[in-house]
Amino acid sequence: MPLPNHSLDAELRARARLVIPGGLWGHLNAARLPEGYPQYFASAEGCRLRDVDGREFIDFMCSWGPVVLGHHHPVVEAAAREQAALGDCMNGPAPVLVELAELLVGLIPHADWCLLAKNGTDATTACVTIARAATGRRKLLVARGSYHGAVPWCSPSVAGVTAEDRAHLISFDYNDAASLDAALAEAGSDLAAVIVTPFRHDFGRDQELATASFARHLREACDAAGAALILDDVRAGFRLHLGGSWEPLGVRPDLAAYSKAIANGHPLAAITGAERFREAATEVYTTGSFWCGAVPMAAAVATLRELRRIDGPARMRAMGERLRDGLDHLARRHGLAVRQTGPAQMPLMTFADDADWRKGDGFCAEALRHGAYFHPRHNMFLSCAHGEADIDRALEAADAGFRAVRRMD
Amino acid sequence: MPLPNHSLDAELRARARLVIPGGLWGHLNAARLPEGYPQYFASAEGCRLRDVDGREFIDFMCSWGPVVLGHHHPVVEAAAREQAALGDCMNGPAPVLVELAELLVGLIPHADWCLLAKNGTDATTACVTIARAATGRRKLLVARGSYHGAVPWCSPSVAGVTAEDRAHLISFDYNDAASLDAALAEAGSDLAAVIVTPFRHDFGRDQELATASFARHLREACDAAGAALILDDVRAGFRLHLGGSWEPLGVRPDLAAYSKAIANGHPLAAITGAERFREAATEVYTTGSFWCGAVPMAAAVATLRELRRIDGPARMRAMGERLRDGLDHLARRHGLAVRQTGPAQMPLMTFADDADWRKGDGFCAEALRHGAYFHPRHNMFLSCAHGEADIDRALEAADAGFRAVRRMD
């Protein structure tokens, strides 16, 4: 499926460049994606995307996380429509808020309470602010390279950021207890919190699971210091485990940030917290114009119940493993060395000896032409809409991708 | 319509207190509203709200701004449904993004480009960050008491806020040129921006329109300093003027923040900017998981076109004036001294000699019992769904409210 010569995507990009800085803000800007990737999409269904030029793809980005049950999931959309018919944005919440809050507190063992918001960044920022309010301290430990949002205290860009925005941040290396201990020592008695992603999923590098010993060390260190352990589960939440991504490690945070998959694409975020932080969460002022909007809450209730009913994480893991096994098999058959990292639900495949991403980009560009939307540098996402036939079909596209990489040498 | 003894609202509040700190976050928490105000809503239609106990109100808060055409506006909801049937949260935007960006840039004279987001706070924060990136400077002037969002640099609460979060803020008094000049002098050559609301609409005090001379002085001062004038039009945007709330004053900002009314309740925010700030807006990293969601964009296109077609601001002004005139007439008839301030589309009525809000609260509580949802301390909002009959019906409720205030003495 080559891009047609007269492409609607190119036309839209040209129009957008006039009225949107850089053509598009943020992580969905396709400018740095391999050749042929579309920027504009016409429609979506299940695990399939159709771009504005009529090409259809089996999608492995799921809007970079939000789509966890598949586009147009009937149960979620019925719940959203039913609430929309009553009301969405009113002078206060609809009863579904209480239903959702009780569901979250029931699902997530560390959670005694929750707050809702709209962006992952709202949730991580609120966690940090609550931790500071609760402890009366300022220092925040962050793993070098971890993404926690797109505002000055945590943005990956330093444009417009002042030194003061990051004055109380101290960095450590993920999974490195010695580095963490050095950072803890630097924070001393002013440590408010450590914020950490459930595994290392930094853009542009292989993923790395948290070791159980590191997670436990972190928990013990926060307890010893009287500081908050904040789990930034925005990207991974509800894909790996419905109770929080560190449940399999047996390590529970004090505060956690959720967004992305929580409502299958409807805009919502959540902060969950332990009892000890409830008072601080009451004192901190965090709100937004649409945070009581009832439709995304109804979608979230339906999404979380459906994920629980079908054991969504297990299903996505199985399909992720099928993809990973297939990719391994194909790579070996083509004599190509690849690394596959991260949890199976959020896989990443990179090539050996590919510092300039030439192989990864070439693989993805060719797979895209054969109908699979992979990503060469950012973790991908499975959804519950991916079935065996979809994975097998995507593997045929991957086969073409590997062939293209072989032709490069 | 007294609250029934066995109230579903009370039941929901009791359940919520267990799982949500303080029962509810932020500005829609009804705890500080007068007696009898509901927290939970069952449904909404046009300018009417129905609470979970079946009471119906003519609404003058419009979800504190978002609802500008009325709940369930058929044109907006049809556009939203049509886009939803195609796709919402995909791997990039739908073509409607370009349509909306072109519409915003066409409507708003100062705007050469725009970015979209989800919260008003996203928009104000991005404006400040862009101004700093463009100027390479740090100082930000803010009017004392103005609300610009709910994160540490601007939150009305200091819980969890560090001194560094506000290190580069300098305050001035709204509409006070001498105070502004002193703040400008303090910022000196490090002035990045002045952020200002289009009129003074601080919670808990009478509103105050910007004087044309103050607005012009601000524009000239920013030009002289090479700093950005940021108009925080989150609360007022698209209610007073479709081209920005200072168009009637002939003063155009460099950057403006919009949200609330932009999509008639669908979650969306926008940053608009002048050409000189385009490059900085490209360098700043601002994004969110749902910022390319197509449904709110389709709702925004329909909302803005409909507001233009029917001259929404003029219509809301006319209905706001009808309400204001009626309230004045009634207050005089009851021998009560009231002050009515702010633009007619966003009115506020307060009582003379009412430092403890006893009269305002009593008025609102009684009006609520008679079917009108007013606010004693925060500016109210008209929508285009308010017709003459609704205003007249609300005035009957106000009459009862005034009678109750008279009975207090």
Q: Do residue A118 and residue B290 have CB atoms under 8 angstroms apart?
A: yes
pLDDT at residue number B3: 57
Give chain A positions within 8 Å (CB) of B288. 26, 118-121, 150
Q: In order of start, what are the domains of chain A with their CATH numbers?
A: 8-64+311-408 (3.90.1150.10), 74-309 (3.40.640.10)
Q: Do residue A120 and residue B259 have CB atoms under 8 angstroms apart?
A: no
Shortest distance between the Cα of A66 and any Cα of chain B, in A, equals 7
Q: What is the mean pLDDT of residues A295-302?
A: 98
Considering only CA atoms, give the Rg of chain B: 21
Shortest distance between the Cα of B222 and any Cα of chain A, in A, equals 18
Q: How confident is the model over A15-68, as pLDDT tens digits? A: 999 999 999 999 999 998 999 999 999 999 999 999 999 999 999 999 999 999
| A374 to A61, A127, A175, A369, B133: CA distances (angstroms) | 7, 32, 27, 11, 33
CA angle A334, A338, A339 (to 5 degrees): 155
Q: How confident is the model over A65-83, as pLDDT tens digits? A: 999 999 999 999 999 999 9
Residue of A nearest to B93 (CA): A40
Give chain B positions within 8 Å (CB) of A43. 86-87
Shortest distance between the Cα of B173 and any Cα of chain A, in A, equals 23
| Beta strand B269-273 pairing with B113-117 | antiparallel
d(CA B360, CA A375): 58
In a mutational test of the B interface, the residue from A29, A89, A140 whose CB has the highest number of chain B CBs within 10 Å is A89
Q: How confident is the model over A123-158, as pLDDT tens digits? A: 999 999 999 999 999 999 999 999 999 999 999 999
Backbone angles phi, psi at B123, to 5 degrees: -70, -45
Q: How confident is the model over A4-14, as pLDDT tens digits? A: 556 999 999 99
Q: Do residue A91 and residue B64 have CB atoms under 8 angstroms apart?
A: yes
d(CA B159, CA B162): 9
The contacts of residue B314 (CB under 8 Å, 6+ apart) are none
Other C-beta atoms closer than 10 Å to the C-beta of B154 total 23
Tokens at A205, concatenated: 């590098």
Q: Do residue B160 and residue A234 have CB atoms under 8 angstroms apart?
A: no
Q: How confident is the model over B329-341, as pLDDT tens digits? A: 999 999 999 999 9
Q: Which residues pair with A154 in a beta bridge?
A: none
Shortest distance between the Cα of A333 and any Cα of chain B, in A, equals 31
> Closest partner residue to A133 among B64, B156, B160, by Cβ?
B160
Span between the terminal Cα atoms of chain A, in Å: 24
Backbone angles phi, psi at B55, to 5 degrees: -80, 140
Shortest distance between the Cα of A242 and any Cα of chain B, in A, equals 18
d(CA B38, CA B7): 10
d(CA A74, CA A368): 28
pLDDT at residue number A406: 97
Q: Do residue B94 and residue A234 have CB atoms under 8 angstroms apart?
A: no
Dmax over CA atoms of chain A, in Å, equals 63
Residue of A nearest to B106 (CA): A19
Residue of A nearest to B77 (CA): A84
Q: Do residue A101 and residue B20 have CB atoms under 8 angstroms apart?
A: yes
Give chain B positions within 8 Å (CB) of A105. 19
| Contact predicate A86/A294, CB 8 Å | yes
Q: Do residue A28 and residue B152 have CB atoms under 8 angstroms apart?
A: no
Q: Do residue B289 and residue A66 have CB atoms under 8 angstroms apart?
A: yes
Question: Could you tell me how many CB contacts below 8 A there are between chain A and chain B?
Answer: 344
pLDDT at residue number B2: 56
Q: Do residue A285 and residue B26 have CB atoms under 8 angstroms apart?
A: yes
Q: Do residue A91 and residue B290 have CB atoms under 8 angstroms apart?
A: no
Q: Do residue B157 and residue A285 have CB atoms under 8 angstroms apart?
A: yes
The helix/strand/coil state of B385 is coil
Q: Do residue B160 and residue A288 have CB atoms under 8 angstroms apart?
A: no
Band (A181; pLDDT cuts 50, 70, 90): very high
pLDDT exceeds cutoff 80 at A390: yes
Shortest distance between the Cα of B104 and any Cα of chain A, in A, equals 9
CA angle B49, B53, B57 (to 5 degrees): 25
Tokens at B214, concatenated: 């103050």
Q: Computed from CA positions of residues A262, A268, A269, A274, in that sequence, does the dihedral angle turn out positive or negative?
A: negative
Give chain B positions within 8 Å (CB) of A93. 24, 28, 39-41
Give chain A positions within 8 Å (CB) of B261. none
Extract the residue ranges of chain B whose pLDDT is less than 50: none
Strands (E), A221-288: 228-232, 255-258, 269-273
Shortest distance between the Cα of B266 and any Cα of chain A, in A, equals 8
Residue of B nearest to A155 (CA): B285
In a mutational test of the A interface, the residue from B285, B295, B303 whose CB has the highest number of chain A CBs within 10 Å is B285
d(CA A38, CA A51): 6
Instruction: Please count the residues of chain A.
Output: 409
| B48 to A83, A296, B63, B192, B260: CA distances (angstroms) | 16, 22, 11, 44, 18
The contacts of residue A106 (CB under 8 Å, 6+ apart) are none
pLDDT at residue number A233: 98
| Contact predicate A386/A72, CB 8 Å | no
